[in-house]
A and B are shown apart, each in its own frame.
Chain A
Amino acid sequence: MTGGSEERWRKLQASFEQAMDLPPGDRAAFLAALDADEHLKRELHGMIRVASSGGVDLSQPIAALAGTASAAPAHPRRFGPYRIVREIGHGGMGVVYEAVREDEFHQRVALKIAPQWRGEEQLHARIRHERQVLAGLDHPNIARLIDGGSENGVPYFAMEYVEGIPITAFLHDRRPPLPARIALFQQVLAAVHYAHLNMVVHRDLKPSNILVTSEGVPKLLDFGIAKILDPMAGPGVTGTGMQWTPDYASPEQVRGLPVTAQTDVYSLALVLFEMLTGRRAQTADMSSPLALDKSICETEPARIGTELLHGDLLTIVFKAMSKEPSRRYESAAEFSADLTRCLNGLPVTARPNTFAYRASKFLRRHKGLAAGAALLAASVVAGFVSTLHQARQAESRFQQVRSLANAFVFDIHDRIQFLPGSTPARQAIVATALRYLENLQQSAGADADLARELAGAYHRIGDVQGNPTISNLGDRDGALASYRKAQSLLAPLVAQGDNASRLPLAGIETGLAMVRKEKGETKVALSHYQRACALADDALAGNPADRSALHFTANLYADWTRTLMQLNDPRAPAAAERAMLVARRLVAADPSRLDSLATLATAHNSLAAVFLSASQLEKAATGYRQSVELRSELVRRAADNVSYRRDLVVGLGTLGEVLGTRTGENLGDTAGAIAALRSALEHTRWLRRNDAADKRAVFDDLSVRMRLGAALLEGGMAQDALGLLRAALEENEALVKNEPGNYRFTVASGYLMRKEAEALAALGRNQEAVGAYRRAMERYAPLTSGPTGSSVVFSIVIVNVQIAGLLAATNPKAALEAANQAAALIAKSPQSLSVPWTKAKIPGDLGRLYQRLGDAARARPWLERSIAVWKQLRPPKALEAARQKEQALVEASLAHLAQSKVVER
């Protein structure tokens, strides 16, 4: 075997396939034009000739040799009016051939012929039976009967030849999304239902009997063991013995019980399971009758949700494959209808009719009525709470009520937490849950299990109240109180060496850290993080493959990285590396899980942030891009999930900054930045549309618009920028008016006004620009002592420099005043010029302004200060040209100053 001959085969097969795709008349020309040696061409010509004359039957020479006593070939070349092309399959039923009718139509058919080597009448009868069944069926998704008869006493029939592959193989090759898979399956259901209406039960439904054509049309085949139900006869026991395929057989088939339409429903459910998971739902154990019975009548596949099969869909599939026929859908049509309801987010009949289930579906459809539903939910839980009091005397009832209420509270909350519009409902649930937990704690005593359970509950309540990484209710102090309760329950257990409490306690410490950080108490946050990391590392060391420990630890280190970076702590890169390491292990352990991918995205993000802070922009952009790709994938797969979408928005925003909007530190890719931000905008729009009460969505939307406005300005699209910025500003001003003390909204207004002014100035509307700058200044003025005071001061400096520039020609006096104000502010707080680029740029602009206003004495020190910084500045490559231009401008001004000095003398 040489590499050359393998190469040769590849060429042969590829050319052969190309040729066969052509109309027969074009093949000779194709062959002639082919760049290949004569020998290959001759082989190819032979192959095409063989294939176009109906192929070759290799089983013939083998069977002929094996059956040497019989002079007859293994299969007839002709049968009745048909020329046989090849054998498609054979079984106890007879043989199926691909054949061509030798008349003017040359129709290709699948020809089924009763076995000739066993002249048993029973088999002949069965072929006639199948022919009779097919004759009564006319449906686009059932292989049609074309012809039938008998030849020399051997019955046969011809049916539509289906050129397709088994439905599962089709999905494996094409990998369509979930709705397309369900739609394909519903066509199969429709065909089966049609057969049922015609009193025919297939009884052998399996992927290889459901072929899908290259156009994506499913076709049912092989009604060989189908049963015609006789409504008059009542259910009868089949007398044909084991004909079905064990891996797709129903319990009633295995036990020889009556077969009904529900038998097909069962087998179809197994097929759907396989279509969605790629795994067989059942595997028949053929080692003994007992084992077979057990494997089919008792064993269910694990009821674990997967990427495609979860939630209502999982329930539907499991209902359809109930071992008890009466618990399945009554018909294939009902099965199909429930699938449609599931795709449309309506309640499905497969669900137990619980309040929580119906409430969550109700909320999904009627977002405005969420509060009403929440009240209802709260009153039910309140009922549990009062029962709890009475139940305390009798311990067993206490346990019952406790687990019931516990499950109920979280059942409702978990079902609605990602639902848009659910905020009021969640508030009501939190209030009720806290009351209930207090009651429970009073009755707890020293029970460790109960303590862990309570801690878990407090943890979840705390998250809902104020965990900034999820969609929360904004109650930070409430969150801290809940977390502390959980901490006080768990810490003693960990101290006593309880390993199982390590990870939960680490979770609590992380919660405390995050809320502290959100409150601006970074130092305290850091100490919580440190404790959390130590606990998580211990937990992971004890169990290195534990998925939840891996998941938790990766996220924890990513989060810690961010906090360390905010504090310029040198431990940040090491923490980021650890996050990546653990996240990669997590994804390697289970690559299909969405939350694993989310964790890897987060880890990419924190490492990228570390690169960014070290000014390694290319590496940072690569990391952010990887993170954005993973997150887009998550949103594609779970479109309703608010947190995935929010993370994507943040990722795109950061990517946009690195690409083109970060002052003095970007890759100069303005177009890329605009594209990323526009994409982010689509997602913030979605978030807002779906939950008007979600404040974070509003703020995220505004920040994206701010950045997009800045990017558009950068890209020279001032008109577009102006429209966008003004709309954002209008909305933001409404928020400021609503909450006058809100720092973030006020800073945002100042920024938007500043950018509005820049856009106006770029459009030559100087007067209006000055007005906008002055309004921005009003917004900034009260904020200089706030948490980001120095950046506010910087903004005021910029605004003054800009005003001075705009007024220099028309109103030198006002311009000078503004310039002086800027100069005074820089002198007072030099740290406001935090970025190297602005350290050079602002003094340069100020110097040139003074020069324009004729104040050479003031101009010189600013220009000199600027030139010193420009000279030593090493910006990213993309910004080097801009740096040179800026430096040249300042140098020109200095040269000019020197000249006028000479003139003065």
Chain B
Amino acid sequence: MGDVTVLLSRWCSGDRGALDALTPLVYEELRAIAEHYLGKERSNHTLAPTALVHEAWLKLVRQDQSEFPNRKHFYALAARVMRNILVDHARALQTGKRGGGQMTIAFGEAQFTQTQHANQFLVLNDAMDRLAKMSPRQAQVIELRYFAGLNLEEISELTGVSQSTISRDQRAAEAWLGQAMQEGVR
């Protein structure tokens, strides 16, 4: 796993090419973990995407003794990747497919709920895209908060924006996304 750490360090020090090489690695790992959970039928066991991101971190980097700042950059990248994975997953659900081309077994009620969740998620995703067009910073805060599970302090450190500003940004962005989702549902 050494290359992930090396690539992360290179990306942190401004090498954009390293990001291009890094993304597929993180994507693969996250997808594998996500598939493991998303594909499983579980009755009382859910795992938030933020936990998946953390697990990816542990698998890819942590055992390689990397430094702290890398972790936040990793999470920023992983948040984006995680979001994409979930978008793929939701689209697959909408079209009645599961990852790996497997046919879904209809469960009646359960499947209906799944599709509803997928729709709801895609509405949110679409709203986030529109928010990013108006204000990339606010959209990033939401992504880091909800897809990588970073807290206020960590987002502040990563983006270099003060915690109070981020807190205000988040409040406005959430309100906007909330109204956009309500509009979208109607």
Contacts and interface: CB of A to CB of B under 8 A. Distances in A.
| Residue among A20, A45, A56, A117 with most chain B CB within 10 A | A56
A9 B138 contact: yes
A172 B171 CA distance: 20
Contacts of B183: 46
A281 to B, nearest CB: 15
Given A6-B134, A62-B49, A165-B163, A16 B175 contact: yes
Interface in B31-67: 34, 37-38, 40-49, 52, 62, 65
B172 A47 contact: yes
Contact of A74 (B48, B89, B113, B132): B48
Interface of B: 34, 37-38, 40-49, 52, 62, 65, 68, 86, 89-90, 93, 109-110, 113-114, 117-118, 120-121, 123-124, 132-136, 138, 142, 145-147, 151-153, 156, 162-164, 167-169, 171-172, 174-183
A403 interface: no
* B38, B163, B169, B183 — most chain A CB neighbours (10 Å): B163
Interface string A165-186: 1100100110000000000000
A46 B182 contact: yes
Given A58-B177, A65-B90, A66-B47, A9 B120 contact: no
Contacts of A63: 46, 48-49
B179 A43 contact: yes
Interface string A18-52: 00100000000000000000000001011111110
A287 interface: yes
Interface residues on A, range: 35 or more
Nearest to B86: A65
A56 B174 contact: yes
A72 B46 CA distance: 10
Given A64-B120, A68-B93, A1 B133 contact: yes
Given A70-B44, A165-B167, A9 B134 contact: yes
A500 to B, nearest CB: 36
Nearest to A45: B179
Contact of B46 (A16, A45, A66): A66
A67 B47 contact: yes
Interface of A: 1, 5-6, 8-9, 12-13, 16-17, 20, 43, 45-51, 55-56, 58-59, 61-72, 74, 89, 117, 165-166, 169, 172-173, 207-208, 283, 286-288, 291
A170 to B, nearest CB: 8
A62 B121 contact: yes
Contacts of A51: 171, 174-175, 178
B179 A49 contact: yes
29 contacts: A1-B132, A5-B134, A12-B176, A13-B168, A43-B176, A43-B180, A46-B183, A47-B175, A47-B178, A51-B174, A55-B178, A58-B146, A61-B120, A62-B124, A62-B146, A63-B49, A65-B90, A65-B120, A66-B48, A66-B86, A69-B40, A69-B41, A69-B110, A71-B113, A74-B48, A117-B46, A169-B156, A172-B163, A287-B65
A65 B48 CA distance: 9
Given A43-B179, A69-B42, A169 B153 contact: yes
Contact of B121 (A9, A17, A61, A165): A61
A169 B164 contact: yes
Given A5-B134, A169-B163, A74 B156 contact: no
Contacts of B44: 70, 117
A56 B175 contact: yes
Contact of A169 (B90, B162, B176): B162
Contacts of B162: 169, 172-173
Contacts, number: 162
Contacts of A61: 117, 120-121, 123-124, 181
Contacts of A16: 172, 175-176
Nearest to B93: A68
Nearest to A56: B178
Contacts of B163: 165-166, 169, 172-173
A790 to B, nearest CB: 61
B126 to A, nearest CB: 12
Nearest to B135: A9
A5 B139 CA distance: 14
A239 to B, nearest CB: 25
B42 A70 contact: yes
Contacts of A59: 48, 146
A70 B117 CA distance: 11
Contact of A67 (B46, B123, B147): B46
B50 to A, nearest CB: 8
A50 B65 contact: no
B119 to A, nearest CB: 9
B99 to A, nearest CB: 12
Given A69-B40, A69-B42, A71-B113, A62 B86 contact: yes
A50 B120 contact: no
A8 B134 contact: yes
Contact of A12 (B132, B172, B177): B172
Of A66, A208, A286, most B-chain CB atoms within 10 Å: A66
B65 A288 contact: yes
A496 to B, nearest CB: 45
Nearest to A46: B179
A503 B93 CA distance: 75
Which of A50, A172, A283 has the largest count of B CB atoms less than 10 A from its CB? A50
Contacts of A169: 152-153, 156, 162-164
Contacts of A9: 134-135, 138
A710 to B, nearest CB: 49
Contacts of A117: 44-46
Contact of B37 (A48, A62, A66, A166): A66
Contacts of B178: 46-47, 50-51, 55-56
Contacts of A166: 152-153, 163
Contacts of B152: 165-166, 169
B168 A17 contact: yes
Contacts of A70: 42-46
Nearest to A89: B151
B43 A47 contact: no
A124 B182 CA distance: 36
Contacts of B174: 50-51, 55-56, 58
B147 A62 contact: yes
A208 B118 CA distance: 35
Nearest to B124: A61
A207 B151 CA distance: 13
A285 to B, nearest CB: 9
A46 B127 CA distance: 14
Nearest to A90: B48
B172 A13 contact: yes
B180 to A, nearest CB: 8
B117 A65 contact: yes
Given A1-B133, A70-B46, A165-B167, A64 B179 contact: no
Contacts of A173: 162-164
Contacts of A283: 68
A6 B124 contact: no
Contacts of B182: 46, 50
A207 B110 CA distance: 44
B111 to A, nearest CB: 9
A162 to B, nearest CB: 13
B46 A74 contact: yes
Nearest to A63: B48
Quick one: which of B42, B43, B52, B174 has the most chain A CB within 10 A? B174
B121 A64 contact: yes
Contacts of B86: 62, 65-66
Nearest to A43: B179
A58 B38 CA distance: 19
A465 to B, nearest CB: 51
Contacts of B168: 13, 17
A69 B109 CA distance: 11
A166 B154 CA distance: 12
A249 to B, nearest CB: 15
